[in-house]
Amino acid sequence: MSTFALRQLPSSAALMLASAVAIFCTFLVWGLSMRSEFDLASFLNWSDVSWQIAEVDSRGRLVRLGAHPFALALLFGFVATGCMGFAWGAWQFFAGPSRTQREADEGLSDRLEKVGKELDDEMTSVMRLLKQHLDLSGSHSQSLTQAGESLLGSTSPDRIRAIIQFLISENKKVQTEVNDLNARLQQSQQQIDKLRVNLSDSHRLGMLDAVTSLKNRHWLDVHLPKEAEHAATANESLCIIMADVDHFKRINDTFGHAVGDEILRRFAELLSKNIKGRDTAARYGGEEFIVVLPQTRLSGAKNLGEQIRSELECKKWMHHRTGQPIGKVTASFGIAELRRGEECDDLLDRADAKLYEAKAAGRNRVVVDE
């Protein structure tokens, strides 16, 4: 294997490879060391006395050659360590994608929480500024009232002049404070607008699948019940198509996850191209997709499923780097229509059952829950 190829291996796969090589080498060295004609004294100072137990008869003939207990302990230790390393690498390799997705979800959740807290803090600051503005207005109003009462009871020109100067001074003071408050409110408004954009972006990213850019499972959990409620209220039809790429694990195992992700992206583009209006395509998980079709009857959903299936079957696929032919890629489809008073989970279960029937019947077909 070339150095470049080794660099492309995930760390978990490299650990599995190293563990397998270590176990093989341990058994190889053990087998060689157990041969009486083989001498490892030049390497590790091994000898028949220290590493092997020999029995001889009365004539001095060798009747049994066995391993020393310490040598057995070393063999067991090396092999057990190699097996544990291989098992750990295998667990990391197969659990890695789900763990990465979970870490991405946790990161997005932390981002949403941080932006929400900053937005709350900024709103608190705005409320405090508005309270100061109201307190200032009340104080200014009280000063004006007192000055008015003094003017009504004063006849001395000096007294009137002093009151007028006081009013002018108070007005300048209020104007300065109002200008300062307006500037601070404007800064808060800009910060709130920025936080609102960040929150909107975070929310949007939280509703999108990272690989295909379609809506994700979270979007379905939030919006499918709304679509079902709207369909029930307006007495309209609502269908869903559940699609699954056939033999996707075999594609991943044969050509790698990069090719598998590319096929998912192309299939997502095919779904998006064939829907319109309020129709929405989403990645349900793994190689499963769901198309939500408001105002669509079973016949229309079936025609759409057949159209997508046919277009996918006719495509020619090849490795995007090497040009190696991948072969035909197909998908199976299960379709169900929302029934009166039915929950979304039941609708999904019926579509999933029909998808299972399509798989059991040979794949690359559309089965409708009629």
Who contacts 219 (Cβ-Cβ below 8 Å, separation ≥6)? 207, 208, 280, 282
- 118 a catalytic residue: no
Residue 366 confidence class, pLDDT cut points 50, 70, 90: very high
Distance, CA of 58 to CA of 64 (rounded, Å): 13
The residues, ordered by sequence, that sit 6+ positions from 192 with a Cβ below 8 Å of its Cβ are 119, 122, 123, 126
Percent with pLDDT over 90 in the chain: 31
Q: Give the tens place of pLDDT for each residue, 273-313.
A: 999 988 999 999 889 999 999 999 999 999 999 999 999 99
Residue found by looking up tokens 């790429």 in the block: 245
What is the model's pTM? 0.51
The top-scoring range by mean pLDDT among 70-74, 138-142, 182-186 is 182-186
**Torsion over CA of 334, 340, 343 and 345, rounded to 10 degrees?**
-10
Comparing 96 with 160, which gets the higher pLDDT?
A: 160
Q: Which two tokens stand for residue 365?
A: 């077909």
Q: Which long-range contacts (CB under 8 A, 24 or more apart) does 179-187 make?
A: 181/129, 181/132, 181/133, 181/136, 184/129, 185/126, 185/129, 185/130
Annotated catalytic residue: which of 122, 227, 262, 287?
Answer: 287
pLDDT tens per residue, range 177-216: 777 777 776 776 676 666 666 555 555 556 788 889 888 8
Give the contacts of 296 (CB within 8 A, at least 6 positions apart): 237, 238, 239, 279, 304
